[in-house]
Amino acid sequence: MNTRGLRSQLKDSVPVTGMGPQVGAYGVQDTLRSGFSSVKNELLPSHALELSEKNFQLNQDKINFSNLRNIQGLHAPLKLQMEYRAARQIQRLPFLQSSHLALDTLKGNDESISFEDILNDPAQSEMMGEPHVMVEYKLGMM
Amino acid sequence: MALSNVVETPASGFNFENVCRNVALEGLLQGGQTKAPKPMKTGTTIAGVLCKNGVVLGADTRATSGEVVADKMCAKIHYISPNIYCCGAGTAADTEKTTDLLSSNLTIFSMNSGRNPRVVMAVNILQDMLFRYRGQIGASLILGGVDCTGNHLYKVGPYGSIDNVPYLAMGSGDLAALGILEDRFKADMEMEEAKELVRDAIHSGIMSDLGSGNNIDICVITKQGVDYIRPYQESEYKDKRQRRYKYRPGTTSILTEKIVPLELEVVQETVQRMDTA
């Protein structure tokens, strides 16, 4: 997938189900897909860890890359991020399960087990997205 | 069925969707007679002592769920690697899962590198994991092990704080156990003396704390190997079962019996040679 819409690129690294206003095209609430909006429905109690877990991997990467830049110079994180970007493109269409093997090997996830591997495995998810909708979202056409 | 409001695959890891439901349930139950079920805590006494040629870890075996004893023979000394063992206090499921994850990670590491892991590596992995979850994982652990750099004893709190001292106690009975340890600990003790000291510390925890009880387990880790003595000492107040409570065969009488033979005929038979070379 070489063409990526800007909006899906902003959101694609942190998929979170059901959080935040469902923004459709033109930046307003997508009434057709997610129903009427009300402030009361959006002020939901959240867990202490919800926000920090949402961005945990991103923040870790930022810290590691900035440390690497300070130690070895700009070329080190630049080369690594280029490899990550290339590896991230090796995947199936969004509604199918991709193994992310290259990306996992680069990040070192193939040598460690954490709660991401045990809990909430996307391959066992009970909800399936509509293929056309998911591809449109990914391409930024939605 | 395919849902059209799902635009991305759900993220793996912890799922916080039930938080609203739980808050609503708490509100409902407060007014009512029932209370939310309490998680099984180990409400424990665990202790560890460094001695001359190794580490001695000790724990009691009671697991409580609220005011009820949930498990009388709970195993609180968990295996991490052949040279590292870990006592866990706090929420039983959390200590179990955390030590399992740690053990798996260290196994992968030792397979990759061909070495036994060091205790500091286990402590660092635990620290990172527990701090990431800001103490929501209620696991207080005492790690003890012998590796190429010597004997080590560490304590890890639920928020990721560590402490490296020659004698430690944790859990709800830790004050009682620490009293005994402070009184009689000496540097470079003999193995038998250290075992007696840990036994006495756990015993005082059992006597003075409601959350600790039943038997005492001891685990001795030396360069030569591990001796996991379970139970080291059984409680004197053990109950004896009065009768056998299993149902005898013939308790439920058979009223009628009907046998229907299932007739199968061979439709097709194929033979495939297995290549065992």
Q: Please identify which residue in the block is written with the tokens 């740690």.
A: B102
Q: What's the pLDDT at A5?
A: 45
Is cis: bond before B249, omega within 30 of 0? no
pLDDT tens, residue by residue, B137-184: 989 999 999 999 999 999 999 999 999 999 999 999 999 999 999 999
Q: Rounded to 5 degrees, what are φ and ψ at B33?
A: -85, -30
Tell whether A55 lies on the interface with B, counting CB pairs under 8 A. no
pLDDT tens, residue by residue, B250-259: 888 889 999 9
pLDDT tens, residue by residue, B199-254: 999 999 999 988 888 889 999 999 999 999 888 888 777 777 788 888 888 888 88
The residue extents of the domains of chain B are 45-233
pTM for this entry = 0.79
Distance (Å) from the alpha carbon of B4 to chain A's nearest alpha carbon: 5
Nearest to B59 by CA among B162, B211, B224: B211
Confidence class for position B33, pLDDT limits 50, 70, 90: low
Q: Please identify which residue in the block is written with the tokens 């800001």.
A: B134
Q: Rounded to 5 degrees, what are φ and ψ at B168?
A: -140, 150
Cβ pair B14:A130 closer than 8 A: no
Nearest to A54 by CA among A12, A14, A11: A14
Phi-psi region of A2 (alpha: psi -120 to 50; beta: other; left: phi over 0): alpha
Cβ pair A129:B6 closer than 8 A: yes
Q: Give the architecture (CATH level 2) of B45-233.
A: 4-Layer Sandwich (3.60)
Q: Which chain B residue lies closest to A135 (C-alpha atoms)?
A: B7
Cβ pair A129:B16 closer than 8 A: no
Q: Token digits for B110?
A: 């030792």
Residues of B in contact with A104 (CB under 8 A): none
Distance (Å) from the alpha carbon of B110 to chain A's nearest alpha carbon: 11
What are the CA-CA distances from residue A60 to residues A75, B128, B259 (Å)?
A: 19, 12, 66
In terms of C-beta density within 10 A (0-12 exposed, 13-18 middle, 19 or more buried), how is residue B23 classed?
Answer: middle
